[in-house]
Structure 1
């Protein structure tokens, strides 16, 4: 039913409002951290959702956006794990809110889950509401700790992990939208009886592998290496196509694939420059 999608879309609109509020509320010196932290928190949720939703089938979403039920399930997940949850984590961490705010956000999101379950647009299989409460509290604690490591302690591991998250979230999200909305490709490797669940499983691993390769080349900061890596990764797509591991349904995939990888690299380079600049400035101040 159409009313299902309106509940989910409202989450997306709420996320935009929260992000806009955070942008204008945060200190100007911290604004450069907004997008890197947002992508990182979304990355946390992607990993969680991949395990709990895709592999373990703990629950299911029903926004009624796609006729394909499994794709519909996954697009519903993005409204939660790509939008509202990471945005509230960003608000909580970058504004350094008190612990009681994490309790408030947990209560609101848990009540929203309860309402969605009551309306039949979210279904629990073996999942329980108490798991969400515990998970959200862990998530908010992690966002606060990660933000401190990145913004105050200038931890290099956290910085590079943040850059990788930006690549992974960007690639997996854009790739997901391409094969759901545009129906560009389909992996034929079966790991579950449901073909589309298998496709999502393999497509996510494909995004992880691609992200690792792009991350390594971005660290070189050499345009020749980056371009060569994108070309080689696209050639790997041709190999997968020729071996029937991927079915290319629409030729536009051959255009979107390198564009997606190129955008990931540009975003990662921008974040790398921003975060390293911040780290260098901090060290300079400490030496003075």
Structure 2
């Protein structure tokens, strides 16, 4: 059980650090930036972790399914530790010395987890982490710059897409991991857990794009979009079942994803408006 203690410690430290950020800043920009950073991390991990199998986590949270346990370890890293530190760097305008320091710190944590045998590399190397994290942290500073200067162009919708993706990915995949409510079987990998999570990742990337695009559609009767979205999600699920790609294992599975699609569309539209209405704060100014 010592495996999980280290991951719990990382989780508690990340939550405590973000609580400190919120206490000091007390603004919505910090929350939007965190969600943006999570969305960016999920996007990267979809490629290098889900499809290229770069490394493995062993937090020992879930004993019944090795890959789902592996995925939860990745979740601790990509939804908490890295995005929270990236948010800290951006909102407090920390310079490159701090970026290099935190990059080195995460390389050290990764090395420690390797030595403790609670994390392992396939083709990944510590050097890749050391080289990649400065760019990830630097992008957080750019994203914060965009959030503080709302616009309706590419920057606005890229931020909106990453935020929506962070919410959609978490709400889509976590029930699969914890409750085994459905199984995807596209036949991409021998491991059924990896196969299921990989298609779940593609699913969230596509539906997040759909929600963002639908925010551009203005209707007199806005409720039509929600009805259509729920119906479309229902049809897509039936098509996947009929194609033998999806197995729904509990009674609430399809109703959950239908309701989730409507909720995510509502949240996307709310966040879209809030991002547009955020005060235009000069970059470098610490808002309160």
Q: TM-score, normalised by structure 1?
A: 0.90
Match of 2:200 in 1: 203
Mapped partners of 1:22, 1:279: distance in 2? 19
Match of 1:65 in 2: 61
SS in 1 for 2:278: helix
Looking at structure 1, the residues matched to 12 and 201 of structure 2 have their Cα atoms a distance apart, in angstroms, of 26
What is the deviation of 1:247?
0.3
Which residue of structure 1 lines up, in the alignment, with residue 9 of structure 2? 10
Which residue number corresponds to residue 269 of structure 2? 269
Bigger RCO (CA 8 Å, 6+ sep): 2
Cα deviation per residue 1:37-74 (whole Å; 9 max; x = unaligned)?
A: 11111111112111111211111100011121111111
Pairwise CA distance, 1:153: 6.8
Question: 1:248 matched to which residue of 2?
Answer: 248
Q: 1:92 offset after TM fit, Å?
A: 0.7
Cα shift readout 1:94-136 (whole Å, capped 9, x = no counterpart): 2212222212211221111111111000101221111101111
The corresponding residue for 2:174 is 177
Which residue matches 2:23?
Answer: 24
Deviates more, 1:101-110 or 1:85-94: 101-110
| Counterpart in the other structure of 2:183 | 186
Q: Could you tell me which residue of structure 2 aligns to residue 286 of structure 1?
A: none
Consecutive unaligned residues of structure 1, counting only runs of 5 or more, are 283-288
Aligned twin of 1:48: 44
**Matched residues in 2 for 1:159 and 1:111: separation?**
35
| SS of corresponding position for 1:63 | coil
Which deviates the most, 12-21 or 31-40? 31-40
Contact kept? 1:210, 1:233, Cα under 8 Å: no
Q: Distance in 2 between the 1:159 and 1:42 partners?
A: 16
- Distance, in Å, in 2 between the alignment partners of 1:58 and 1:236 is 31
User: Which position in structure 1 is the counterpart of 2:129?
Assistant: 132
SS in structure 2 opposite 1:123?
strand
How far apart, CA to CA, are the structure 2 residues paired with 1:281 and 1:239? Answer: 47
Deviation at 1:281, TM superposition (A): 9.5
SS in 2 for 1:38: helix
Regions of 4+ moved over 4 Å:
279-282
Number of positions where the alignment pairs a residue of Structure 1 with one of Structure 2: 278
How far 1:154 sits from its partner (Å)? 4.1
Relative to the length of structure 2, the TM-score reads: 0.90
**Counterpart of 1:228 in 2: which secondary structure?**
helix
- RMSD between aligned residues: 1.9
Q: In 1, Cα distance between the equivalents of 2:199 and 2:93?
A: 37
5+ long unaligned stretches in structure 2: 283-288
Q: Equivalences for 1:144-183 in 2 at 5 Å?
A: 144-152=141-149, 154=151, 156-183=153-180
Partner of 2:29: 33
- For residue 223 of structure 2, what is the aligned residue in structure 1? 223
Instruction: Assess if the C-alpha contact under 8 Å between 1:32 and 1:274 holds in 2.
Output: no
Is the contact between residue 89 and residue 99 of structure 2 (CA under 8 Å) also seen in structure 1?
yes
Q: Is the 8 A contact 2:91 2:144 kept in 1?
A: yes
Answer whether contact 2:149 2:280 (CA < 8 A) is retained.
Answer: no
